[in-house]
Amino acid sequence: MSLFACYSFLDDFEINELSHVQIPIMLMPDDFKAYSKIKVDNHLFNKENMPSHFKFKEYCPLVFRNLRERFGIDDQDFLNSLTRSAPLNSDAQGRSGARFHTSYDKRYVIKIISSEDVAEMHNILKKYHQFIVECHGNTLLPQFLGIYRLTVDGDETYMIVTRNVFSHRLSVYKKYDLKGSTVAREASEKEKQPSQPEDVPLRPKSGNVQQRLQTLRIATRFYCAMKHVRDAKELPTYKDNDFINDGQKICIDGENKKMFLEKLRKDVEFLAQLKLMDYSLLVGIHDVERAEQDDVESEDNEPEDEGESDGGGIGTPPDSPSNTLDGTKPLSPGEFDPAIDVYAIKSNDSAPRKEVYFMAVIDILQHYDAKKKAAHAAKTVKHGAGAEISTVNPEQYSKRFYDFITTILS
């Protein structure tokens, strides 16, 4: 049986016409503690790939639905992206070793997180929501769209869904993780080599009927994606010293620079207020001319007669809205839809190369706790009080981070 059959679980249910639950005008305090759960026992469909027993939990569903609305994401489109076809293995966009997937249309990232991350997310969720309300969703921070827990044979796996920083159609050829620190902030030779993720077995990390069907369908997709990690080469992630040594600059015009720095200033001030630190600016670079050349070479290498698929890959099902992202109007090379690629900025006219930059603040759930304070003390002793170590207090971290980012924009 094809693996795709696993992803077709529940497709016989007519949930595409889900009636939309009315979103409350004002969220209540209990909404930030609420959750929905579903338990599946003894189902026999595709038992070779699916467990017969599993549980799925969605945290604060009304809060995240409200956030999705504020980020301009239609709830039915969000559901389609997560459930129409299997999530794909993705290049990591966060801390080393983190496991990621993207939705099949590459609009959303599904990240495996720890229970500590879930607890920290609950700690900041009220203030995060209020911040998003006040800035009207105009931020460089992660767009948190849902948190889930999947339990199989007593093993718990936690997941968080965010909007993809990178584009669904413009390829990134180089990416950087920037903290504004210079101590041990270069990619090792091993990290510079494109790697292939291992086939990792699923393991834990250290209503109404229609809503339940929706929850169950998401759970099924998530389980299959994590259980069957497909081979994909991971783009190396370079760091601060690599960025400097490469002579890299972000060449954007004055208006974009002003708007970007204003958003960044508000974002890091908010993170400092929450005592959060150790976050990064993820930078992805799309080279327009390089991408055009790659497209030409790809077309030249395509066989004249395309045979039927051998079923080895996971494609878009026949009923999928496969062209919903690209079907509105054709886009020229280097062009993008700002409503979808919300983190994208074009290079200015005087840039040495025509590029598109994707820039967002990531990994914001690190609280400045006793462990980080101890790490700060140890690194200060090792490298000296004046060294640009990454582990500093949140106020110092935010200022240094912002100041560094201002130097890389031109």
- Round the CA-based radius of gyration of the chain to a whole number and report it: 22
Give backbone dihedrals phi and psi of 108, rounded to 5 degrees, phi first: -130, 150
d(CA 85, CA 6): 10
- For residue 385 the two structure tokens come to 């009080």
d(CA 160, CA 276): 18
The one catalytic residue in 31, 267, 278, 341 is 278
Residues with Cβ within 8 Å of 263's Cβ and at least 6 positions away in sequence, in order, are: 135, 138, 139, 140
Residue 278 appears among annotated catalytic residues = yes
Q: Tell me which H or E stretch contains 344.
A: strand 344-346
> What are the Cα distances from residue 26, in Å, to 32, 35, 133, 207?
12, 17, 12, 20
Where b means 16+ CB within 10 Å and e means fewer, 33-47 reads eeebebeeeebeebe
Residue 111 appears among annotated catalytic residues = yes
Residues with Cβ within 8 Å of 275's Cβ and at least 6 positions away in sequence, in order, are: 367, 368, 394
The one catalytic residue in 31, 57, 111, 341 is 111
- For residue 276 the two structure tokens come to 């959060």
- For residue 299 the two structure tokens come to 């077309």
SS3 content of the chain, % helix, strand, coil (to 5): 35, 20, 50
Q: Spell out the SS3 assignment of 90-130.
A: CCCCCCCCCCEEECCCCCEEEEEECHHHHHHHHHHHHHHHH
Report whether 180 contacts 277 (CB < 8 A): no
Report whether 225 contacts 332 (CB < 8 A): no
> What are the Cα distances from residue 117, in Å, to 51, 56, 93?
26, 18, 16
| Catalytic residue positions, numbered | 111, 278
